[in-house]
Amino acid sequence: MDQLSLFGIEPQEPQTNEAQDRIRELCDFLNHHSYLYYVLDKPEIEDHEYDKAFRELSDLATQYPHLMPQDSPLARVGGQVLSGFTKVNHEVPMQSLEDLFSQEEVETWVNDLTSKYGKDIVFSVEHKIDGLSASALYENGMLVRGATRGNGLVGEDVTENMRTIGSLPLSIKGAPELLEVRGEVYISKADFAELNRQADENGQQPFANPRNAAAGSLRQLDSRIAAKRHLNIFIFNIQRSSEDTGLVGHTQGFEYLRSLGFNVVKNYKRCVGATEVWEAICQIGTDRPNLPYDIDGAVIKVDDLSLRQVIGGTSHAPKWAAAYKYPPEQQPTVVTDITIQVGRTGVLTPTAELEPVRLAGSTVARATLHNADYIRDKDIRIGDTVWVQKAGDIIPEIVKVDLTKRPVDSVPYEFPTVCPVCGSQAVRENNEVAWRCTSPTCPAQLVRSIIHYVQRDAMNIDGLGDALAETLVNKGIISNVADLYKLAERRGDVESLDKMGAKSTDNLIEAIEKSKEAGLDKLLYGLGIRHVGKHTARMIAKTYPSLEQLMAATQQDLAVVEDVGEVIAESVIRFFSEPRNVELVQSLAASGVKVTYDSGLQSNKFAGMNIVVTGKLQHFGRDEIKAVIESHGGKSSDSVSKKTTYVLAGENSGSKETKARTLGIPVISEEQFMEMLES
């Protein structure tokens, strides 16, 4: 059924107006509920209702891309990859603030201003968000540009990434013809913790703090990555406007910005005199551990906008504002042990077990040590007295070791070279910080390995989703991917599982049986060998078309295979040197899984050709067109270079077509490609 029929519109050209009306309705609905969720923190609908409307809009975008408005929520998911950021000259300089570090400095700063300009000066004291300063420019109510602060005079155009921020409106009603605002882009404590958890699990270097995470995310060249980082923004200033807003005070500006739909800091206080200012700073410091976002200080500003003009400033900072910086809370404790957890991807993550200590409002008994390099660089040992703090006020971390209290019998910590869960070899590959378990049968990563094995691009076992895979493992029905081919013998156990039954079980067993014919390339990819992706698996299988031949190959043999190289070759050899892995593939072969490769070569029409596909095609999906090219002897590449023979350009082909024409590489249409295929 065509998706338009979901809301009563027949998929015919005369119905374009109805489609456009429905798109506008969905955009308004989704933008309104995004505002309630991200800005007001008062959601009125369940997530599934939002998701249902979002999917409907996505379907319409596929059918009617030319009807999508600029403020479509689809812009928030990202999708553009840039080669670099263009420079932006700030019409209004984005200045920094003078820092204050003590009560005495705060009182001196406030008293100097009140002595010069009057004792009744009103100050605003507000949160200093620990993030990255950025501006957002709106023309005729539409977001047209987002830019980083840079050096205050020149920043970078990060519009695509700022569009992914759920709390930043893509359009505003009742705004001046031109409006530019300034805010602080940040990542919440909870999202920061999850980001670093994923980094540890994937063997990546964790972010040092929420500010680094926000800055790195906002400056991602791939907006799809930025969209996954859950960036947020507080707007705190109007940089310029084409109309006189009539505002006389800074805090009055907060209410105006809020009325336009912006997310503004809620916990600000108007104060008179140094005593009230300091009390407000202390109150923010008390509230700090319980805030959902990280702050590194409090900002003090003169509230009167006209008085600010009189006070003025330097070329770098205004004299009417300053920032008080809170010192991080640190406490000493003792490392009682260092334990190792194994993540779903096999990464070994060390954790310091601590004598419990009260820190930033909670009791801390563990601290992540991230990786072996982290332990070595800080020389952390069992029995050491260490100072701990909370990164982002949420993640306990060891700041330093108190060497004066180190036990005399202390020895450096030796990172394990075997998996603590299954006993298999643990390895550290070149240029990586992580140690990994090499066995896909390791219980710690079993569910993940099964999910990867059954996916469409691997063995394509339809009906075996994430939840069922986890249930099969937890119930003890399977202990490795080879056990999938024994499920027919345990039909009763499978049928009794929640949401299964006889029909679903039959379909599952049929899909498993069908997967046996997938071939060696699919099997190699499905086994989850480190660094071996779909394309690499195919290149290896083409060169060594049987498992027996592959296992007899040396590292030097594999390294010269096209698109393989030393790193991947070493990973493959290491995989097949592990007895558990050899036992696994032998069990798969014994179950009837095909361990040979059939190239499916239909002709040599494209032999020696390197074809890059870009844009949307009418008759082929992306994976399908690559398979067609390769089945006729050609090679399908993702990037344009001097080695490219043709660029096959569909709709919205973008920069790849431009680069091809610059290099003088022939660009062909889908129709021309099909003519070549049929000739």
The residues that are catalytic are: 128
439 touches 428 (CB < 8 A): no
CA 419 to CA 445: how far, in whole Å? 11
Strands (E), 273-407: 295-302, 321-325, 331-342, 348-359, 362-368, 385-391, 395-401
What CA dihedral angle connects 239, 241, 246 and 247, to 10 degrees?
Answer: -20
- CA 127, distance to chain mean position in Å, is 26
Which H or E run contains 138? strand 132-139
Tell the burial category of 351 from Cβ atoms under 10 Å away from its Cβ (0-12, 13-18, 19+).
middle
Q: What 3-state class would DSSP assign to 503?
A: helix
What DSSP state is assigned to residue 36? Answer: I
Tell me, what amino acid is at 241?
S
Asked if residue 353 lies in contact with residue 336, where contact means CB atoms within 8 angstroms, the answer is: yes
Are residues 336 and 382 in contact, defined by beta-carbon separation less than 8 angstroms?
Answer: yes
* Cα–Cα dist 86/83, whole Å: 10
Alpha-carbon Rg for the chain, nearest whole angstrom, is 30
Instruction: Classify residue 355 by its DSSP letter.
Output: E
Are 372 and 435 a contacting pair, CB within 8 Å? yes
Long-range contacts of 328-332 (CB under 8 A, 24+ apart): 328/389, 328/390, 329/359, 329/360, 329/389, 329/390, 330/359, 330/387, 330/388, 330/389, 330/399, 331/357, 331/358, 331/359, 331/364, 331/387, 331/388, 331/389, 332/357, 332/385, 332/386, 332/387, 332/388, 332/402
The residues pairing with 155 across neighbouring beta strands, listed in sequence order, are 88
| DSSP symbols for 600-623 | -----TTTT-EEEEESB-SS--HH
Measured distance CA(335)–CA(355) in Å, rounded? 7
- Residue 449: CB atoms within 10 Å: 24
Q: How far apart are CA 484 and CA 513, in angstroms?
A: 9
Q: Report d(CA 342, CA 351) in Å as an integer.
A: 11
- Mapped onto helix, strand or coil, the DSSP state of residue 204 is coil
Give the CA count within 13 Å in the CB-facing half-sphere of 63.
Answer: 21
Return the SS3 of 477: coil
Q: 632 and 605 in contact (C-beta within 8 Å)?
A: yes
